Amino acid sequence: MEKKNLDWGKLTFSYQPTDYRYVANWENGSWDEGELSTEANVTMSECAGVLQYAQAVFEGLKAYTTKDGRIVTFRPDLNGERIERSAKRLVMPVFPKERFVDAVKKVVKANEAWVPPFGSGATLYLRPFLFGIGPVIGVAPAPSYQFRMFATPVGPYFPGGAVKPIRVKVSDYDRAAPVGTGDIKAGLNYAMSLRAIDEAHREGFNENFYLDSKTRTNLEETGGANIICIKGNKFITPKSNTILPSVTRRSLEVVAKDYLGMEVEERVIPFTELKEMDEIGVCGTAAVIAPVGEINDHGDVIKVPTGMENCGPVLKKLRDTLTGIQMCEIEAPEGWIVEIK
């Protein structure tokens, strides 16, 4: 199929409607068969559960064009498992993982012309989401739900490219409560971060680092990504029940251990320990890995040894290995790559 006539190398991380999206509806205890649709707009009651009580969860994953022209996705089963867990937490019907993966294949195949070409630096981003569409006025789960998945071609998440070091600040806000919803991908979590990220951007920072809300002494994550630290031959990530289990971070742990021979640690990281790290970065589907160059803690600036000009050597190797796996240039562990046929 002929690709769309886009300047792929100049794409930003922003929404552009494509030809098809997937839609399925849940009512009276079951999901319908679901279908591809050309309609990008959603019509719902003014009293819909998502509008009244923020009953919504979502996911994010990508499709890629490989060097030999194939189109693939990366570990969609993990996204399917995570949205199942997220739905259960907000008392929503589970959209089964198997149907989720099938919907991914359908949406990518139908929008094949929108998948950026190999080497362009762009990807096709998929946004699956599930929300309460039925009307509800009392505080209760909605009576009906809709699952949708759209696709949009995107460029790098952070301005300047994915490997340009970013500046972050320590946020005064809490991202999630100790027994709250921090470990699921709920829209309400991200709404809570909007004021903090708006303030950070106005102050010249790319992101926020959040500390644990109970003691405000331990590292948690950013508003939209997990944090990774490199210390010698160790790959270290914060451990907490309020951190979203990133598919990218979990994949990088395998890359670090099995491909690069590193020691992997998931543990509590006191914020004061950041000064001892050799490299620090953030990771997620959108950014893959973005190195951190500076951390501003209310005027006390931690300058990461790798600086503000280039990605550190270990993070670069991790990123190059993971993207090589995603693009099928490096052999992937079994089940990680799903080809769209």
Residues that are catalytic: 185
DSSP code at position 183: T
Q: CA-CA distance, 117 to 115, in Å (whole number)? A: 6
User: What are the helix (H) ranges across the chain?
Assistant: 49-53, 76-89, 97-110, 187-202, 247-254, 313-326
DSSP string, 192-205: HHHHHHHHHHHTT-
Entry field: residues in the chain:
341
SS3 307: coil
Classify residue 49 by its DSSP letter.
Answer: H
Partners of 209 in the beta sheet? 170
d(CA 29, CA 27): 5
Cβ contacts of residue 86 below 8 Å, gap of 6+?
57, 130, 184, 185, 186
Tell me 157's DSSP state.
S
Question: What's the CA gap between 2 and 258, in Å, rounded?
Answer: 38
DSSP state of 210: P
Sign of CA dihedral 266, 268, 274, 276: negative
Among residues 233, 190, 159, the alpha carbon closest in space to that of 57 is found at 190
Give dist(CA 187, CA 184) in Å, integer: 9
Q: Which one-letter amino acid corresponds to residue 12?
A: T
